[in-house]
């Protein structure tokens, strides 16, 4: 664990020092970090699989996610839950997003007819929601209209939270850890949590 922490700190410092060069080369930050992780793992020759399930790793990921969400939230201008873009954001989140998930599931069923519905839902939840963190330069590109960038930022901040309960339920069904009769109770809890999250954000 100590080796992992030290190497991660060194890679993080190196990334910060070379951030201008990385930006000039138009390389995405997550891509650079992923490649760095692959290189470091090959050099260190340590099995990091157990670290993925360690409590410290979970807390670190939660902290990073909280920081990313906080930074994204500071980019939202305007009042209200959707930064003054309520009608457009509502259509994107509650009409376009569910329809996109459904379209991805139907396409997956057509291309892979032997695949279970749980696998198709998991795949749809992974590929459909837009996450602009790997392409943050898009949100900050002045060539795009300010309103478009603001709407994209708002939508990408909410869609993960909306899709997460669907993803977790499908994953539990896939692993056989959830009975179908429990879906109604779980869906009720998920809806209440989503509503609370919207009003607390």
Mean pLDDT, the chain, rounded, equals 75
DSSP state of 143: T
Residue 181 has pLDDT above 80, yes or no: no
Residue 105 has pLDDT above 80, yes or no: yes
How deeply is 125 buried, as exposed, middle or buried, from its count of CB atoms within 10 A (0-12, 13-18, 19+)?
A: buried
Task: Of 5, 160, 168, give the one whose Cα is nearest residue 68.
Answer: 160
Residue 103 has pLDDT above 90, yes or no: yes
Residue 1 has pLDDT above 70, yes or no: no
Of the chain, the percentage scoring pLDDT greater than 90 comes to 7
- Read off the pTM: 0.62
Triad 196, 200, 201: Cα angle to 5°? 120
pLDDT digits (tens, 9 = 90+) for 9-50: 787 788 788 878 877 777 766 777 778 777 777 777 666 666
Residue 192 has pLDDT above 70, yes or no: no
Domain boundaries, the chain: 2-53, 86-200
* Sign of the CA dihedral with 40 first, then 45, 51, and 52 last: positive
Q: Could you tell me which residue, 169 or 77, shows the higher pLDDT? A: 169
């Amino acid at each position: 664990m100590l080796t992992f922490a030290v190497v991660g700190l060194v890679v993080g410092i190196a990334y910060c020092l070379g951030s201008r060069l990385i930006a000039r080369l138009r390389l995405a930050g997550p891509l650079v970090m992923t490649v760095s992780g692959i290189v470091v793992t090959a050099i260190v020759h340590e099995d990091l699989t157990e670290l993925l399930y360690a409590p410290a790793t979970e807390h670190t990921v939660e902290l990073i996610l909280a920081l990313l969400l906080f930074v994204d939230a500071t980019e939202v201008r305007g009042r209200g839950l959707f930064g003054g873009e309520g009608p457009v954001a509502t259509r994107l989140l509650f009409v376009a997003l569910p329809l996109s998930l459904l379209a991805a599931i139907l396409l997956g069923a057509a291309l892979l007819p032997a695949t279970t519905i749980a696998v198709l839902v998991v795949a749809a939840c992974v590929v459909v929601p837009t996450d602009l963190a790997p392409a943050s330069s898009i949100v900050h590109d002045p060539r795009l209209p300010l309103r478009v960038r603001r709407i994209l930022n708002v939508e990408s901040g909410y869609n993960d939270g909306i899709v997460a309960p669907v993803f977790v339920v499908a994953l539990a069904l896939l692993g056989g850890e959830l009975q179908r009769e429990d879906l109604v109770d779980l869906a009720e809890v998920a809806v209440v949590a989503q509503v609370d999250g919207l009003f607390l954000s």
